[in-house]
A and B are shown apart, each in its own frame.
Chain A
Amino acid sequence: MVDAAPLLSIRNLDVRFKLRTGVAAALSSGPKVLKAVDDVSFDVRKGEVLGLVGESGSGKTTIGKALLRLYEPHAGTILVNGVDITHMGAGRLKPYRRNLQMVFQDPLSSLNPRHTVRTALATPLLLHRICANDEVDARIDEALSKAGLPTSFKDRYPHEMSGGQLQRVAIARALTMSPGLVVADEPVSKLDVSVRAQILNLLKDLQQKFGISIIFITHDLRVARYLCHRVAVMYFGKMVEIGPTEELFASPKHPYTRALLGTLDESAESLDGGAQIAGEAFNPTTDSVGCRYLSRCPKKVARCATAHPEFEDVAANHSVACYEWRGG
């Protein structure tokens, strides 16, 4: 069973980007910073897969990168096994960096085209002094096998491999560090459908065999359902709902979660349902008060325009940020 103390705790995370200067910035009267992640809190327990879903630009990648300390948060705390790493210096951070690994959507961009697989996997092993020099090769072989690749792949260059093989290499590289938590950022969205199943099954197996925690980032609800114990839904920098996967699918509370789940019905008739005219999405550079979902929401009431709603508990482990979640 899962441990009581969470492996990772994120509290009130706030990550901002300066908006580009130039015409667009000069024309807009709105704020000059973008809140890519706005007051987000959640835990990941040991051995748990948490899904982060939401459309592109909702802040999923930024959360992942911030918790690996690749972005400096504007506010909030990041606790790993109870230790605050939010502002930890590089030296002390090293073991935590090792414990937190990331697998990206596009494995090519995270591999040096001039390095063989051996070099790509050996470098972090040597850097973190994970093992003696003469054990490096054995360690790489082990990681490649776990990722479902023949050990002969050590001598390949990135351009000699297919998309699925590259993603396996990226997974193997994360595994060499024996991480406690892997942030997998849309690891299958660039892969073909026929290869996607292979990688999803691999992640599921690894997670179950080694008890690794995973933050699985995806815009595809179906993929999240397959892999995740809990799912958190993001909308324009805000987390709007979080809950156990099956409960969230069976009884979603937030209007946005409901709309997203509504897109899973694939019958031809399903195209006829729903509103024909969509409200424009939240504009993060001009809209600042009220619920982020206000402009698109079919259930909005006067209060929704006053402030973004706080999280409320719906059931054990299930919370939602919506004033109107009780109404049907």
Chain B
Amino acid sequence: MSAVTLTVRGLDAGFTMGGSTVLVVRDVNFDVRKGEMLGIIGESGSGKTVTGMSLLRLLPDNGVTNAAEIDFLGVDLRGLSDEAFRELRGRRLAMVFQDPVGAFNPAKKIEWHIRGVFDRSASKSPAHAERARNWRPAAIQLLKDVGIPQGDNVLRQFPHQLSGGMLQRTLIALVLAFEPELIVADEPTTNLDNIVERQILRLFRDLQRRLNCAFIFITHDMSIAHMLCDRIAVMYAGRIVESGPTKDVFANPKHPYTQGLLASALALEGKTDRLKEIPGELPSPSNLPPGCLFEPRCTFAKPVCRTKPPGMTALEGGRGVRCVLYGDG
């Protein structure tokens, strides 16, 4: 197994409003290894974005983050000054959002953005320095690598002149040039139509293989996680309730929530007369059930589920589940 790039232990995150703090992410633990794609999946409001933002220190001013450990290649991220963290984010960590527009300066052409990345990485090696000097052919090749054949044209355009799919491709080209060791992508294809989405997903996978970096892919879409990710962590109401290799979790989900979620998502794949339902809805973060967060909706719940939040039980094959039906709870 390759080396661990990012270790997260006991991550809590939330927001302070009107003097009180509401935690929307609690006790999140995971590792991401070099060359691995970890999927964080869950329904909207389950805390996926806040998890990613808190790790990259991008939460708004009223955001609160606490963790027992956040280790990035031997660096304790908790202890870094804001300035040192910005420096790191500009060189070794990248975040890609749903809307690529925000990643671009609207007043600057695409060539300005690519040259910026080339210049910033010029000191890495003689080849990088050469790339920064003789930037145009390198930029055109880079765009070709992400499926943009007419790079010469695109370099001269402003971000708003490109379609959503083209802009997301261009952003992937920038990340490719920038060679980060960890990428966090938050629902980066949600705004695209299915056909373009497919192509962009493939680019993300190629990007990750080429850079051999650690990759966290956040999505609410089970089918995307299924196609793309080596391992997944399923979040429910701010907690990871199940994690493990994607194939195993899909073939044999353990947590009743994962089972219900996959049953509803997968039932639509074939012809079916009746969809299986999960009764009820997600609890609100300010009014969480005292025991297991899924207990009010769970058909397997025992009396203890109502009072005691279950811990994470480690299972064989690198799997984990937060449910009393497995192990000692």
Task: Check if A and B associate.
Answer: yes
Residues of A bordering B, CB below 8 Å? 55-56, 162-165, 192-198, 200-201, 219, 222-223, 225-226, 246, 259-260, 263-264, 266-268, 270-272, 274, 276-278, 280-281, 296
Report the 6 A-B pairs with minimum CB-CB distance, sorted nearest first: A55-B193, A192-B43, A222-B268, A197-B275, A194-B278, A263-B194
Q: A201-B275, A271-B198, A278-B165 are in contact. List 20 more A-B contacts (CB 8 A).
A: A163-B281, A164-B281, A192-B281, A192-B282, A193-B43, A194-B278, A194-B281, A195-B281, A197-B267, A197-B275, A198-B278, A222-B268, A226-B268, A226-B272, A263-B198, A264-B269, A272-B202, A278-B147, A278-B195, A278-B196
CB-defined contacts of A266 to chain B, threshold 8 Å: 223, 226-227, 269
A201 touches B268 (CB 8 A): no
Distance from B134 Cβ to chain A, minimum over Cβ atoms (Å): 25
CB-defined contacts of B196 to chain A, threshold 8 Å: 278
Q: How long is the Cα–Cα vector from A260 to B227 in the complex, in angstroms? A: 17
CB-defined contacts of A219 to chain B, threshold 8 Å: 193-194
Distance from B79 Cβ to chain A, minimum over Cβ atoms (Å): 37
What are 30 A-to-B residue pairs whose CB atoms are below 8 Å?
A55-B193, A55-B195, A163-B281, A192-B44, A192-B281, A193-B220, A194-B281, A194-B297, A195-B281, A196-B264, A197-B275, A197-B276, A198-B277, A198-B278, A226-B268, A226-B275, A263-B197, A264-B269, A268-B228, A271-B198, A271-B202, A271-B205, A271-B228, A272-B202, A274-B199, A278-B195, A278-B196, A280-B163, A280-B166, A296-B195
B147 touches A260 (CB 8 A): no
Q: B163, B202, B222: which has the most chain A beta carbons within 10 Å?
A: B202
Partner of B227 from the list A225, A270, A278 (CB cut-off 8 Å) is: A270
Q: How long is the Cα–Cα vector from A194 to B193 in the complex, in angstroms? A: 23
B265 interface residue, CB < 8 Å from A? Answer: yes
Which chain B residue shows the least CB distance to A23? B160
CB-defined contacts of B281 to chain A, threshold 8 Å: 162-165, 192, 194-195
Per-position 1/0 for B244-283, Cβ under 8 A of A = 0000000000000100110011011101101111110110
B314 interface residue, CB < 8 Å from A? Answer: no
Number of A-B contacts (CB under 8 A): 97
Q: How long is the Cα–Cα vector from A268 to B199 in the complex, in angstroms? A: 13
CB-defined contacts of B278 to chain A, threshold 8 Å: 194-195, 197-198
A197 touches B272 (CB 8 A): no
Q: How long is the Cα–Cα vector from A280 to B205 in the complex, in angstroms? A: 22
Known: A197-B275, A271-B201, A277-B147. Is A223-B268 also a contact (CB below 8 A)? yes
CB-defined contacts of B197 to chain A, threshold 8 Å: 263
Distance from B280 Cβ to chain A, minimum over Cβ atoms (Å): 8
CB-defined contacts of A263 to chain B, threshold 8 Å: 194-195, 197-198
Do most interface residues of chain B lie in helix, strand or loop, or is the interface mixed? helix
Which chain B residue shows the least CB distance to A266? B223
Which chain A residue shows the least CB distance to B269? A222
Distance from A21 Cβ to chain B, minimum over Cβ atoms (Å): 16
Known: A259-B195, A271-B201, A278-B195. Is A225-B268 also a contact (CB below 8 A)? yes
CB-defined contacts of B202 to chain A, threshold 8 Å: 271-272, 276
Which chain B residue shows the least CB distance to A190? B44
Known: A266-B227, A266-B269, A271-B205. Is A194-B275 also a contact (CB below 8 A)? no
Q: How long is the Cα–Cα vector from A105 to B25 in the complex, in angstroms? A: 28
Partner of A271 from the list B163, B194, B227 (CB cut-off 8 Å) is: B227
CB-defined contacts of A296 to chain B, threshold 8 Å: 195
CB-defined contacts of B165 to chain A, threshold 8 Å: 278
Segment 199-254 of B: residues with Cβ below 8 Å from A: 199, 201-202, 205, 220, 222-223, 226-228
Which chain B residue shows the least CB distance to A221? B194
Q: How long is the Cα–Cα vector from A223 to B166 in the complex, in angstroms? A: 28
CB-defined contacts of B149 to chain A, threshold 8 Å: 277
Per-position 1/0 for B284-317, Cβ under 8 A of A = 0000000000000100000000000000000000
Which chain B residue shows the least CB distance to A222? B268
Which chain B residue shows the least CB distance to A259? B195
B275 touches A200 (CB 8 A): yes
Per-position 1/0 for B149-168, Cβ under 8 A of A = 10000000000000101100
A197 touches B271 (CB 8 A): no
Which chain A residue shows the least CB distance to B266? A266
Q: How long is the Cα–Cα vector from A226 to B267 in the complex, in angstroms? A: 9
Which chain A residue shows the least CB distance to B163? A280
Q: How long is the Cα–Cα vector from A195 to B43 in the complex, in angstroms? A: 10
Segment 70-116 of B: residues with Cβ below 8 Å from A: none
CB-defined contacts of A259 to chain B, threshold 8 Å: 195
Distance from A157 Cβ to chain B, minimum over Cβ atoms (Å): 15
Which chain A residue shows the least CB distance to B268? A222
A194 touches B43 (CB 8 A): yes
CB-defined contacts of B277 to chain A, threshold 8 Å: 194, 197-198, 201
Distance from B40 Cβ to chain A, minimum over Cβ atoms (Å): 15
Which chain A residue shows the least CB distance to B263? A197
Segment 171-198 of B: residues with Cβ below 8 Å from A: 193-198
Which chain A residue shows the least CB distance to B222? A193
CB-defined contacts of A222 to chain B, threshold 8 Å: 268-269
Partner of A246 from the list B43, B264, B271 (CB cut-off 8 Å) is: B271
Distance from B230 Cβ to chain A, minimum over Cβ atoms (Å): 10
A193 touches B264 (CB 8 A): yes
CB-defined contacts of B271 to chain A, threshold 8 Å: 225, 246
